[in-house]
Structure 1
Amino acid sequence: MMSEPLALISVPMLAALEPAFQRGGLATARAWELTDDERARVRAIVHAGEFVLTPEFLGSLPALGLIACVSVGYDGVDVPWCRARGIEVTHAEGLNAEDVADHAIGLMLAAWRNLPALDRTVREGRWRQEERLNPQPSLGGRTLGVVGLGHIGAAVARRAEAMRLTVQWWGPREKEAPWPRAASVLELAKACDILVVAARAEPSNRGLISAEVIEAVGPKGLIVNVARGSLIDEEALVAALKDGRLWRAALDVFAQEPTPPERWADVPGAVLAPHTGGSSSEAIPLMVEQAIDNVRRFLAGKALASPVAA
């Protein structure tokens, strides 16, 4: 009798999703508790795309044929390496884009209007009526630049227009869009007051938001990142905030996650969130169900629902 195929939960962060896969009729195992018998039966991996899957680990799973990312991103998966070995890769394309865009706008507003500091002022009893007359810059008439005009970037751009912002964008590939495309990410940074990073992380764009780009956004500008920490030179960002060469930053993602709290202890103008942009009660079930559907389809020999584009 053929052994039952297994869907492998790749990281402890996803352990809470295991019952959903089991209810979906899939037998599961956990990568951090994997036995030799289970290793031979693993046909699919259920994965969060930001975590790296090494060739050594993947090569130790002789029956592996699918990596089903519950996340939109899949930057921890070497897709060409997998394809060369007949391993398919899927992801949750577009399912949480509206929620991530909401989060990006929330971060933008929190940083632009300095809301965390104002909250502390009230809670700590430092409210002074005369400080209400200290002017805060308005958003109206500012320029927002979007790096990466995929599902998330376009959703951010639509929201920004409704907030009286002028929108530009840049991405490595031309596409039809109602907003003008800058000649480069540097030119976009020079033109905008707020730079929102929403691009898909790839080896080719590591450190895309470089010290030069950060400098171009400038001492009156704001950078928001809801993509991946790898896209920003974090050392340069921290230095620019400390030196006043960048006004503010609002980050949901970091070079290391969880990011060390001491790294940000003395960094002014930073609003930080723990990589929760797409974690809504509506989006997560959709993303999990799509991953379950992809695993079922793979095991049944059917076309996958959301394969990573070639």
Structure 2
Amino acid sequence: MNDTLLLLVPIAAEHKALLLARFQVIEATDPAARAAAIAAHAADIELVLTNGSVGFTAAEIAALPRLKLLAALGAGYENLDRAAARARGVALCNGAGTNDDCVADHALALLLASVRALPQQGKALRAGIWRDDLLLYPSLGGRRLGIVGLGAIGRKIAHRAAAFGMVIGYHNRTPRPDAGDASYFDSPQGLAAWADDLVVATPGGAATRHIVDAAVLAALGAGGHVVNIARGSCVDTAALAAALKAGQIAGAALDVYESEPQPPAELASLDNVILTPHVAGWSPESVRASVQNFIDNADALRRGAPLPTPI
């Protein structure tokens, strides 16, 4: 008999088919359906597939006596109660590495669009304004890119940015021996003072909440652009809005924000802000790889083998 899976995140039909072929799937992608599914199927659920934003609580773990694997579809897992899972002997895994390239691609797309003011130039063109009456915007080559969080995704962003001729600096809890020519800074503010542009690629959670704050934005300066593909909590939205309105920085491009799934009201009306709906890691290839990775972890657990991507 197939294991029973509680699916808490929406995925496309073609990827859901991979799960339906392998598990008894209970889909519950909104809070009411989630509560109802747990109440009705608590005795059956053995696997839970969620993500870092949606999470899974200690109370929910306690309600599922047969739970054996709690999984995050993507790399993030900040809202999974890992302590409660471990105390119950529930295995934990995530989708580390399955969407890194997709996120890094999106980060560079956002950075290029912001620095080159692509939305503003498109809007001007539609209003009948030709290039002779527009500002000139800088190339990426030679600009200094500060990366907050040089993990797997941060390193891929650095590699792509270096191909554009950017000079790379980074802030991490500690220096990385595999950082190559990238310069290490021991504080986000120090990194921002050096950088022309800033990309946030650090994990979410309490330790990185508002790691980009008013002081960091002031240090970045009037020509700077901020890109966030990490977690919305990593950037102080009110401080970012104030900096943009005051001309303290030049622009921002965000795939994640504190108000999601609602767009940030303070930023949505600003011409120098680009917003995408938390899709940096989403492509047909990356979602399929993430779902297959979950299946591989579930199969490994059933065999008693080490999980491919344990948390």
Q: Mark yes or no: TM-score above 0.5.
A: yes
Distance 1:244 1:41 in 2: 56
Instruction: In structure 1, give the amino acid aligned to 2:223.
Output: K
Query: Is the 1:168–1:181 Cα contact (8 Å) retained in structure 2?
Result: yes
What is the Cα deviation at residue 302 of structure 1?
2.6
Pair 1:166 & 2:164 matched: no
- Change in Cα spacing, 1:110 to 1:234, as seen in structure 2 (3 Å) is same
Pair 1:149 & 2:155 matched: no
- Change in Cα spacing, 1:255 to 1:35, as seen in structure 2 (3 Å) is closer
What is the Cα deviation at residue 38 of structure 1?
2.0
Pair 1:19 & 2:17 matched: yes
Instruction: In structure 2, give the amino acid aligned to 1:26.
Output: F
Using the size of structure 2 for normalisation, the TM-score is 0.91
Q: Percent identity?
A: 34
- Change in Cα spacing, 1:27 to 1:245, as seen in structure 2 (3 Å) is same
Within the candidate set 79, 97, 101, 1:98 is matched to: 101
Distance 1:48 1:149 in 2: 21
Instruction: In structure 2, give the amino acid aligned to 1:8.
Output: L
Query: Is the 1:214–1:237 Cα contact (8 Å) retained in structure 2?
Result: yes
What is the Cα deviation at residue 34 of structure 1?
1.4
Distance 1:251 1:261 in 2: 10
Q: Map residues 203-222 of structure 1 onto 2, 5 A cutoff.
A: 203-222=206-225
Deviation string, structure 1 residues 74-117 (Cα, Å, up to 9, x no partner): 11212233222212211111121111111111100100011011
Query: Residue 254 of structure 1 aligns with which residue?
Result: 257
- Change in Cα spacing, 1:166 to 1:116, as seen in structure 2 (3 Å) is same
Secondary structure at the aligned position of 1:40 is classed as coil
Within the candidate set 69, 74, 77, 2:72 is matched to: 69
Secondary structure at the aligned position of 2:46 is classed as strand
Query: Residue 184 of structure 2 aligns with which residue?
Result: 181
Distance 1:146 1:262 in 2: 26
Within the candidate set 29, 34, 37, 2:26 is matched to: 29
How many residue pairs get matched? 302
What is the Cα deviation at residue 227 of structure 1?
0.7
Query: Residue 114 of structure 1 aligns with which residue?
Result: 117
Pair 1:6 & 2:12 matched: no
Query: Any stretches of 5+ residues in structure 1 without a counterpart?
Result: none
Distance 1:106 1:15 in 2: 24
Query: Is the 1:247–1:269 Cα contact (8 Å) retained in structure 2?
Result: yes
Query: Residue 47 of structure 1 aligns with which residue?
Result: 50
Query: Residue 78 of structure 1 aligns with which residue?
Result: 81
Instruction: In structure 1, give the amino acid aligned to 2:17.
Output: P
Instruction: In structure 2, give the amino acid aligned to 1:239.
Output: A
Distance 1:296 1:168 in 2: 40
Deviation string, structure 1 residues 3-55 (Cα, Å, up to 9, x no partner): 864111124x24744432121x2112134251655211111101122113222
Query: Is the 1:68–1:295 Cα contact (8 Å) retained in structure 2?
Result: no
Instruction: In structure 2, give the amino acid aligned to 1:225.
Output: N
Query: Residue 138 of structure 1 aligns with which residue?
Result: 139
Query: Any stretches of 5+ residues in structure 2 without a counterpart?
Result: none
What is the Cα deviation at residue 146 of structure 1?
0.7
